[in-house]
Structure 1
Amino acid sequence: MKSSSAGHFEPRIIIHGGAGNITRPNLPPNRQESYKTSLLRILKHGNDLLQNGVSALEAATSTVSLFEDDPLFNCGHGAVFNRAGGIELEASVMVSSGYKKSCAAVSLLRHVKNPILLARNILEHGEQDLEEASAGAQGHVHISGPTAEDLAKAYGLELKPQSYFWTRKRWEEHKRGLQSKLANEKVPSCEEFRGLEGLDDQEPPWDGFEYLPQGTVGCVAADVHGVICTATSTGGLTNKLPGRIGDTPTVGAGFWAEEGILLNIDEFDSVDSAMFPATESVYGTLAPIVAFLPSVLTDCLPFSTTTKGYQHLTALTEKPTVPATHALALSGTGNGDSFLRVSACRTAGALALPPQALMSMLPKMSLSDKTAVSGITLRAALKAVAGPGGLLQQSAGDRWNRTGEGEGGIIGIERRGKDTDVVFDMNSSGMFRAYIDSSGRTMVGIFRGDDEVVHNP
């Protein structure tokens, strides 16, 4: 799509409600409609905010908070139970530009009603927290457990007892899973939390066959200023060990966002290292990619510990022009341990790095080095990482389709200049999703290839 006015970008949004072994037999038509109704309601909320000029950060986090309040999804009120019968929540947020911390994540939460709002607050308060005399979350990006919940209280966020998060279907899923895995052992959590079964809950009992979302929920939103934000939240894996932390709060595994400057190919040789700020080196994250270029690293990339993607580049030439930028953001869902093993979202983002952007980072590369660097679209990168036969599936080895390893999907938005693409891919049989596509159409889907147009402007 093209921007409708100079200096502004057309807002776009995509959401997911989890990916996994979702099939038509285990998700009957009436339940499919329930999920689609929720997805479209949540999507409309986020899109309305964006159309009214709200920032990508506010739109994405507000959208995910609706997922957290909906018992259909594995986050917040509908989260899964861990092996001990408790609930431990995770969330993260990251923006392509505009904030000092760039990202924030929280985990092992037991009482925060909307974990995504805590992650957002940590990101926003980072504008002050990074100052020497500041308290709060200081310079930390990922905070967990009681300390994170203390911050939530300080920020005025709503806290709830564990019983708030209880839902009948998740509880029965938890009990059945433990009884299956621990057939010859006592199942203490089923006894300890038996009283919860008396809570008033409108959901009918779980039949043991209907699919219950196991994945993360997420939103990627692009605002009128060209900023893209990813927001992600989850309850984790059913019957996970207490204390387990997944990909959702892990930077680069379950989420990623960045922005960089695009150069014209003719400008490569005219750019020198003066483009880099004297006080901050910004490309430490690319060290593995350019490890084969020691001379470049020595001359051009004095790495420091304060790195964040590549959005901090200053002017590329002496001309008083505003260079075109490339930005992207991604949110993953599926088997979190597999996402962790391959740094799924960061890997996809790196694959989609345009050659022009990489060249702007490495001005002293030889012509042969420049031409050797390739770049693909984010759409193609997601296929390589999250599509059938991709990196995630390969990571499962011969356990694919047996253990749940490698299963998942990723959603994202990529912007090159003023051209924006809304993308997703998955290797599982289904992923709950809805989005405003590059033509402005409202789309919703559950199974592979079943995306339907709900509104065509």
Structure 2
Amino acid sequence: MNPSRIFRQPNKVRHALYAIGALAATFAITSVPALAGDSKQLGKTPVAIAIHGGAGTILKSSMTPEKEADYKSVLTQAVQHGYALLQKGEKGEVAVVETIKILESSPLFNAGIGAVYTFDGEHELDASIMHGGSKNAGAVAGVKTIRSPIEAALLVMNESPHVMLSGRGAEDYAKENGLEQVDNTVFDTEFRKQALDKAKARMQQVSSGYGSQQGNERFGTVGAVVLDQGGNIVAGTSTGGMTAKRYGRIGDSPVIGAGTYADNESCAVSATGHGEYFIRYNVAADICARMKYQGLTLNDAANTVVNDVLVKAGGDGGVIAIDAKGNVAMPFNSAGMYRASVDINGKVKVAIYKD
């Protein structure tokens, strides 16, 4: 389903359209085959992609078959779309942005439509992108009126002399450069409103108030990492942040090195989880540094940081990572992580639980 058509619908109609589309796609994803005409078969430089839709307490016992099919449908649509762009020779940053825009357009994830609510009942969105070849990067934080935050991050990377823009300034810059502006209510969903109500109820029961609202509602960040035909690796991340956040809180997603990082000499990483820990431990860049300076494999570096460093610190979440050879790692220390990938042979993997 074309996200641009859905954008023009009222919220209730738009969400219904997504449900119909997800149901129709369910029959196609029970066993996802390898994509036809993979890079090796066409004699092109191999390409690969991995995406995530957030990590957290995601249990099969609490997931209906219909909801599971919805998640798998959107993940499949997004990862296949990104892979197709890479096969056509599109640059990695284009594939990352167009893939993430599909996830931002789905009410299932905490990014764009479906973003969590702040304490005051609004949505403040963050996103970032980094190119592993040029080391160029762009990010926006705390924006409320930009349709696609990841598109704004790309604009900052490509056109601005800066790396990160925030709030009203970022919105003005996006508007001046022709990015679509919307009312903040476009991002509303009933599910996230209920999550806000639950978070506020917890806060009222604890004397320390703010900082005690943390529940599973904070998860759902989306991201993508790719290897393109030019041999470049690119990472991007987009999020609505943490439910009931206050005082302009910003997590790891727009922070280069914490939630997003890319270096052709090591890897590209997009993170999801409890952002404060990912910032403190510089998670995305740390994984790449362990590859670059310690000679670890992608899998070993990613697993060490996620399942050792973060666990010891008390942080939960996961990452998707890719290296210049197209190897993919998707470790997480939570019960589940919405994720999908297409490797250099065209093999598609879509998964949710720790299986």
TM-score of the pair, normalised by structure 2: 0.83
User: 1:115 and 1:376 mapped to 2: Cα distance?
Assistant: 33
Instruction: Tell me if 1:179 matches 2:201.
Output: yes
- Segments of structure 1 that go 5 or more residues without pairing to the other structure are 126-136, 188-210, 260-325, 359-373, 397-405, 450-457
The match for 1:340 is: 279
| Aligned ranges 1:432-451 → 2 under 5 Å | 432-449=338-355
Report the 3-state secondary structure (helix = DSSP H, G, I; strand = E; otherwise coil) of the residue aligned with 1:420. Answer: coil
User: 1:124 and 1:116 mapped to 2: Cα distance?
Assistant: 12
The match for 2:321 is: 412
Q: Deviations over 1:177-227 (max 9, x none)?
A: 102212599x9xxxxxxxxxxxxxxxxxxxxxxx76713100001111101
CA RMSD of the aligned region, Å? 2.2
* Structure-2 change in CA distance of 1:5 and 1:36 (3 Å): closer
User: 1:172 and 1:428 mapped to 2: Cα distance?
Assistant: 23
State the shift of 1:163 in Å: 1.1
State the shift of 1:71 in Å: 0.5
The match for 2:15 is: none
State the shift of 1:242 in Å: 3.4
* Structure-2 change in CA distance of 1:108 and 1:438 (3 Å): same
- Segments of structure 2 that go 5 or more residues without pairing to the other structure are 1-37, 210-215
AA partner of residue 217 (structure 1):
V
The match for 1:150 is: 172
AA partner of residue 39 (structure 1):
L
The match for 1:394 is: 312
Report the 3-state secondary structure (helix = DSSP H, G, I; strand = E; otherwise coil) of the residue aligned with 1:25. Answer: helix
Structure 1 contact 92–233 (Cα < 8 Å) conserved: yes
User: 1:6 and 1:329 mapped to 2: Cα distance?
Assistant: 25
| Aligned ranges 1:270-419 → 2 under 5 Å | 326-353=265-292, 374-387=294-307, 390-396=308-314, 406-415=315-324, 419=325
User: 1:44 and 1:66 mapped to 2: Cα distance?
Assistant: 11
The match for 1:229 is: 234
AA partner of residue 312 (structure 2):
Q
1:118 aligned to which of 132, 136, 152:
152
User: 1:216 and 1:336 mapped to 2: Cα distance?
Assistant: 10
* Structure-2 change in CA distance of 1:420 and 1:43 (3 Å): closer
Greater helix content? 2
User: 1:249 and 1:15 mapped to 2: Cα distance?
Assistant: 17
The match for 1:140 is: 162
Structure 1 contact 56–228 (Cα < 8 Å) conserved: yes
Instruction: Tell me if 1:35 matches 2:40.
Output: no
The match for 1:89 is: 125
2:186 aligned to which of 164, 179, 193:
164
User: 1:257 and 1:228 mapped to 2: Cα distance?
Assistant: 7
Report the 3-state secondary structure (helix = DSSP H, G, I; strand = E; otherwise coil) of the residue aligned with 2:195. Answer: helix
AA partner of residue 250 (structure 1):
V
* Structure-2 change in CA distance of 1:174 and 1:226 (3 Å): same
State the shift of 1:344 in Å: 0.5
User: 2:284 and 2:275 mapped to 1: Cα distance?
Assistant: 11
AA partner of residue 391 (structure 1):
V
The match for 2:21 is: none
User: 1:244 and 1:344 mapped to 2: Cα distance?
Assistant: 19
Q: Deviations over 1:327-364 (max 9, x none)?
A: 421100011111011001111110011xxxx5xxxxxx
User: 2:319 and 2:199 mapped to 1: Cα distance?
Assistant: 27
User: 1:154 and 1:78 mapped to 2: Cα distance?
Assistant: 26
User: 2:228 and 2:326 mapped to 1: Cα distance?
Assistant: 11
AA partner of residue 103 (structure 1):
A
Q: Deviations over 1:98-130 (max 9, x none)?
A: 4xx6101100101101000011011111xxxxx
| Aligned ranges 1:72-111 → 2 under 5 Å | 72-98=108-134, 102-111=136-145
User: 2:82 and 2:206 mapped to 1: Cα distance?
Assistant: 48
The match for 2:19 is: none
Report the 3-state secondary structure (helix = DSSP H, G, I; strand = E; otherwise coil) of the residue aligned with 1:182. Answer: helix
State the shift of 1:3 in Å: 7.7
State the shift of 1:32 in Å: 1.0
User: 2:206 and 2:260 mapped to 1: Cα distance?
Assistant: 39
User: 2:52 and 2:142 mapped to 1: Cα distance?
Assistant: 22
The match for 1:263 is: none
The match for 1:52 is: 88
Aligned residues: 311
User: 1:95 and 1:121 mapped to 2: Cα distance?
Assistant: 13
User: 1:7 and 1:41 mapped to 2: Cα distance?
Assistant: 25
User: 1:213 and 1:52 mapped to 2: Cα distance?
Assistant: 36
Identical-residue share of aligned pairs (%):
36
User: 1:183 and 1:391 mapped to 2: Cα distance?
Assistant: 32
State the shift of 1:7 in Å: 10
* Structure-2 change in CA distance of 1:256 and 1:184 (3 Å): closer
Structure 1 contact 19–213 (Cα < 8 Å) conserved: no
Structure 1 contact 97–258 (Cα < 8 Å) conserved: yes
Structure 1 contact 69–77 (Cα < 8 Å) conserved: yes
